[in-house]
Structures are given as structure tokens and as C-alpha cells.
Structure 1
Amino acid sequence: MDLFSRSWSALRAAVAGLRDEDFTRPSGCAGWLVRDLVCHLVVDAQDVLITLATPATAEPTRDAVTYWDVVAAPTGDDPLDALIVRLAAAYREPRLLKFPLDDVGSAAGRAAALADPAGRAGTRGEVLTAGDYLGAYVLEWTPHHLDLVAHLPDVPGPSAEGLARSREMLERIAQVGFPPSFGDRDALLVGTGRRAPTGAERAALGRTAARLPFPVG
């Protein structure tokens, strides 16, 4: 839960420091500009609030790792993705996007800090402890933080601990182990399909290369 809070705070701080012109730069998400990604983060923050306010009494059905599934690689053509693009464009000015992320995002952070780690919450038809649910979101914030800075090298990226934990989770979800020659950042970028592996990386991956990518959702 602490890593959730640190990862989320770092991501929101990175967005808060963006210049207006940064919002029209491409992000690391296929088909999305930075403004589209920020709009998606607002929706994510709403999801966190909704889930933490949806208590459950049933036994947990998922944990921080099994919350995620390997899904089809994003193409940018998904109707929900297209909706995010239209919604982001409606904000017109970057400050109008920064405000709801700060407002709803701060509320999500406070709700997470107040949550009982052992308390149960329902989401997506599943039940998780609050601790596992928030732990799962480290794998949401960290790759999206990489998406944010993909074409903005001067903007601070995610923390080393967030990268390491996200790599560990991805390896467990996909049931693979990336070679030691892969740094955590590269393991996430290549593993989730955010960039293609180099020839040397493909050789190091061996048979795993044929299974790439492992986008999660």
C-alpha cells in the first residue's frame, strides 16, 4: 500500500510539472497523446475511489498479481480508448485536465491511505483485499508513468522500486523470467509491447521472444 501511494504521488507530481505544450506530445500508449493518457489517469483515480467504497464480505477471489490478465495488445482502435481521446479533447486547455487529476487523484490517494489493508472490496466482478487491490495498481501506475515520459526525457520517471515491483508482477502474470541483462525499465517496455526488442534482446530472450508481448489489463 505504501508503494501504491508513492507511485501514485510521483505520477501525479510528474503530470503537475508538465508544460502546456507537453500535452500535445505523443505518449507511450498507442494512439494516445499525453493529454489522452492524463484523462485516462483521471478515470483510473475514479475507479480506485469507487472500488474502495464498494465493500465486500465474500472471500477474496484475486490477489495483487492474479487481478491482472494478459490481454490483446492495444491498437488504439478500441471504442473505450477512442472515448478517452474524445473526452480529453473536450477539456481544451491542459489546466482543465490537471485540475481533476489533482482533485480526484488526491482523493484517491487519501482513500488509499485510510483503507484497512485486510478489508475486502469488489471490482470487475471479483473480490480483493484493499491491500492487494492497491498493490495491483502499482502495475497500472508504473507503466503509465513510463508512457508519460516516453517522449518527455526531462520529466522524472517512475521510481526504481516501482519498476522492480512491476517487473516482478509482470513475470509472475506472464509466467516468464526476463534475463538479468534486462533492466527493469526495459523488461516492462519490451514485455508489455511498448517497444520491440533489439536483436540482442531477442537473442537473450530465447523462446520467450516468440510469446511477446504480454500486455496486461
Structure 2
Amino acid sequence: MDLFSRSWTALRTAVAELQDEDFSRPSGCAGWLVRDLVCHLVIDAQDVLITLATPAATEPTRDAVTYWEVTGVPPGGDDPLDALTVRLAAAYEEPWLLKFHLDDVGSAAGRAAGLAAPGLRVGTRDEVMTVEDYLTTYVMEWTLHHLDLVAYLPDAREVPEEGLARSRQLLEEIAGTAFPASLSDKDALLVGTGRRLPTDEETAGLGRLAARLPFVLG
């Protein structure tokens, strides 16, 4: 629960510190500018609020690992929902409006997460999870999108180390194997989720795991 808060606070702070011109630069998400990614974060925050307000009475059907749908095809930015996000982002017109909306809804999502009982069962995507597992999935979400946010912004606030470490652990559980120790947590996530291609040296170190990459999470 604390790691969710730290990861989310760091990501929202990074957005708050962006310059207006940064919003028109590319992000690490194919087909999305930084403004599109920030708009997606607003939608993510809304999802957190909706899910935490949707209690479930049945047993959990997913946990922080099995929550993810895994494919081997990185998004190309042409999915209808991705395209909708781009149109929504453009409608804001001014970067400060996006910053304001993310701070407003994002702060509320953070407060709701802090008030929720870890063992409470909630419904999301027609599945049931505990609050603890659900918020853990968002540690991964926030961490990956923080990497996407700063991909072309070298002066932006860096991703928290503890978020990188926990997300790497989750990715290794999803993959059913460990990434080589020679890969940093950041590089394991970037390479493992298809955000960049491995170098020749990294490919050699990955061994048979290289043939299974990437693990595209959805």
C-alpha cells in the first residue's frame, strides 16, 4: 500500500514539474505524445476510484500476477481506445488543464487507496481482487508509465528505485523466470516489456528467455 502511494506520488510530481513544451514531445508509448500519456493517467486514476468503490462478495479470481493479460505484440498506437485517448488529450488544449485534472483526480485516488482495507475484495474488469493485489498491479502500471513519461525527457524526475525493484519482481513472476542479474531493474523492465530492444550483449545474457520477449502487459 505504501509503495503504491510512493510510486503514484512520484509520477504525479514528475508530471507537475513538466514544462509546457514537454507535453508535445514523444513518450515511451508508441503513437502517444506526453500529453496523451498524461491523459491516460487521468483515466487510470478514475479506474482506481471506481474499483475501490466497487466491493465484491465473492472470492478473488485474480492476484497481482494473474491480473495481467500478456501478449507478445507491442501496441502500435492504433487501437480504438488509444486513439480515443489522443482525442481526449487534444481537447484539453492547455497543458495546465491536464496537470490540474491529474492532480485533482489523482490526489483523490491516492486518498481512497490509503483509506481502503488491504483485504477488502473489489471488482474490476469482471474479476475480483483484494485491494492489496489490485494496488500492487498499479505499482507496475505507475512504474512502467513513469518510464514512458521520462523516455525522451532526460531532466524529468526519475522513477523510484523501490518501484522498479518491485515491478521487476512482478514481471519475473509473470514470466516464470528471473532476468539476468547483469540487467538493472530499469533495463529488465524496458527490455522485458518491449519498450526497447536488447543489445547483442543483453540478448546473449538472456539466453532462452530472449526468444520469449517481449511480455506486453494489458
- Give TM class, smaller chain: over 0.9
Partner amino acid for 2:154? P
Counterparts of residues 106-121 of structure 1 (less than 5 Å): 106-121=107-122
Contact 1:120 1:128 in 2 (8 A): yes
1:200 equivalent to 2:193? Answer: no
**How far apart are the structure 2 equivalents of 1:177 and 1:69?**
19
User: How far has the Cα of 1:69 moved from its partner?
Assistant: 2.1
Question: Which position in structure 2 is the counterpart of 1:30?
Answer: 30
Does structure 2 conserve the Cα–Cα contact (< 8 Å) formed by 1:49 and 1:108?
yes
Letter of the 1:201 counterpart: E
Give CA-to-partner distance per residue, 1:107-134, whole Å, 9 cap, x none. 0000000001111100001101111111
Mapped to 2, the partners of 1:70 and 1:176 lie a distance apart of 15
1: CA distance between counterparts of 2:65 and 2:212?
19
Query: Which position in structure 2 is the counterpart of 1:45?
Result: 45
Distance 1:199 1:215 in 2: 21
Q: Is the 8 A contact 1:25 1:34 kept in 2?
A: yes
Alignment-mate amino acid for residue 80 of structure 1: L
Match of 1:10 in 2: 10
**Superposed CA offset, 1:19-38 (max 9, x none):** 00000010000010000000
Correspondence for 1:76: 77
Q: Any conservation in 2 of the 1:69–1:173 contact (CA below 8 Å)?
A: no
Q: Supply the distance in 1 between the matched residues of 2:158 and 2:91 (Cα, whole angstroms).
A: 27
TM-fit CA distance, 1:68: 1.1
CA distance in 2, matches of 1:65, 1:2: 19
Are 2:70 and 1:100 equivalent residues in the alignment? no
| Separation in structure 1 between the aligned mates of residue 129 and residue 212 of structure 2, nearest angstrom | 29
Provide the C-alpha distance between the structure 1 equivalents of 2:187 and 2:144, rounded to a whole number of angstroms. 11
Say if 1:28 and 1:146, in contact at 8 Å, map to a contact too.
yes
1:64 Cα offset (Å)? 1.3
Q: Supply the AA of the counterpart residue of 1:113.
A: G
Task: Give runs of aligned pairs for residues 113-152 of structure 1, distance below 5 A.
Answer: 113-152=114-153
Q: Deviations over 1:155-200 (max 9, x none)?
A: 1121110000000001111223210000000000000000000000
Provide the C-alpha distance between the structure 1 equivalents of 2:210 and 2:64, rounded to a whole number of angstroms. Answer: 26
Number of aligned pairs?
Answer: 217
Q: Secondary structure at the match of 1:36?
A: helix
Q: What root-mean-square deviation, in Å, do the aligned CA atoms of Structure 1 and Structure 2 show?
A: 0.7
List gaps (5 residues or longer) in structure 2: none
Separation in 2, partners of 1:10, 1:68 = 23
Asked if the contact 1:70–1:174 (Cα under 8 Å) also holds between the matched residues in 2, the reply is no
Letter in 2 for 1:111: A
One-letter code aligned to 2:109: A
Q: Which amino acid aligns with 1:161?
A: E
